[in-house]
Amino acid sequence: MSISTSNAIATVDLSFGWKSTAPVLDKCTLSVPKGEFWMLLGTNGSGKSTLLKLLAGLLTPQSGQIQLNGKVGFVFQNPDHQLVMPTVGADVAFGLVSENLSHIETQARVFDALSAVNLQGLHRRPIYALSGGQKQRIAIAGAIARQADILILDEPTALLDADSQSDLVVEVRRLVKEQSLTALWVTHRLNELDYADGAFLLKQGKVTDRGNPARLKRLLTD
C-alpha cells in the first residue's frame, strides 16, 4: 500500500462488522489531507462511530488498512464520559501521567493547552461548574496537551445548545489552522459544513460521496 504523506488520515478497503452477515464498513476508503478540517456525514447506524473507533485503535479492522500520520486525540459526544478528574487543570494533567514529565513541564503543557482553547483562566474550576461547550473544549485541550496532531470528534456538538455549537465548530476550525492539526468531525448538523474544508458521506459501509462541503450541504438539504 502506498499512501501519500500529504494525508494525515487514510484508510484503504477497511472492513469491519459486528456479525459476519452484515458488515458495518465494507471496503471503506477515504483520506483526510494534513492541516484540514473534514466532516463525516451519514444516517444513524451508518457506521460513523465505528469508523472513528477503528481510527482511534479502539476496534481492530477485519481487513484493510489504516494509516495515521501523527498522534490521535479522540473527543466523545458526551464529555462527561471523558473528563475524569475534579478540576480542569487536574483533568488535562491526568492525560499526561504516562509521559513521566516533571511537574513544571506538566504545568507548562496544561497551561499551553488551555490557552489554545481560550480557557486559560479556568485552570482551578471544578468540572461540574463548566458548560457543555466548555467541557468539550477541555476534552480538546487534553488532546492538545498530549500533543495530538489529529483530532477525531464524534458528534461533539450533539449535546450543545445552538450558541455553544457554533462556538465549538469555529474554535476547532481555528485550532486546526493555527496549530496545523487535522480534524475529522462527525455531525448531523448541516450548518456546520460551512466551516469544513471537505466532507464525506458514509452509506452502506462505503464513502459514497466526498469533497466540497457546500455541495454536500445542498445535496443533503434538498
Ligand X SMILES: Nc1ncnc2c1ncn2[C@@H]1O[C@H](COP(=O)(O)OP(=O)(O)O)[C@@H](O)[C@H]1O
Using CB under 5 A as the criterion, which residues of the chain lie in contact with Mg ion when the complex forms? Answer: 48-49
Which residues lie across from 16 on neighbouring strands? 25
To the nearest whole angstrom, how small is the minimum distance from the Cβ of residue 48 to Mg ion? 5
* Shortest Å, Cβ 186 to ligand X: 7
Q: How many Å from the N-terminal Cα to the C-terminal Cα in the chain? A: 38
Give least dist CB 105 to ligand X, A.
37
Site string for ligand X, 176-205 (x = CB under 6 A): ------------------------------
199 alpha carbon, distance to own chain's centre: 14
What size, in residues, is the chain? 222
Tell me, what DSSP letter sits at residue 22?
S
Residue 46 binds: one of ligand X, Mg ion, none (C-beta under 5 to 8 A by kind) = ligand X
**Closer residue to Mg ion, CB minimum distance, 48 or 109:** 48
Asked if 13 and 190 count as a contact pair (C-beta separation under 8 A), the reply is no
- Tell me how far, at minimum, the Cβ of 46 lies from Mg ion, in Å: 9
Distance CA 48, CA 154 (A): 8
Query: Which of Mg ion, ligand X, none binds 20 (CB below 5-8 Å, type-dependent)?
Result: none
Q: Which residues contact 83 (CB under 8 A, 6 or more apart)?
A: 91, 127, 135, 138, 139, 142
Closer residue to ligand X in complex, CB, 76/144: 76
Binding part of the chain for ligand X, among 37-45, 79-87, 107-115, 138-146 by CB under 6 A, reads 37-45
* Per-residue contact flags (x/-) with ligand X for residues 40 to 79, judged by CB under 6 A: --x-xxxxxxx-----------------------------
Scored b (16 or more CB within 10 A) or e, 201-215 reads bbeebbbeebeebee
The least distance separating ligand X from the CB of residue 207, rounded to whole angstroms, comes to 13
Task: Tell me the three state secondary structure of residue 34.
Answer: coil
Judged by the rule CB under 6 A, the positions of this chain that interact with ligand X are 18, 24, 42, 44-50
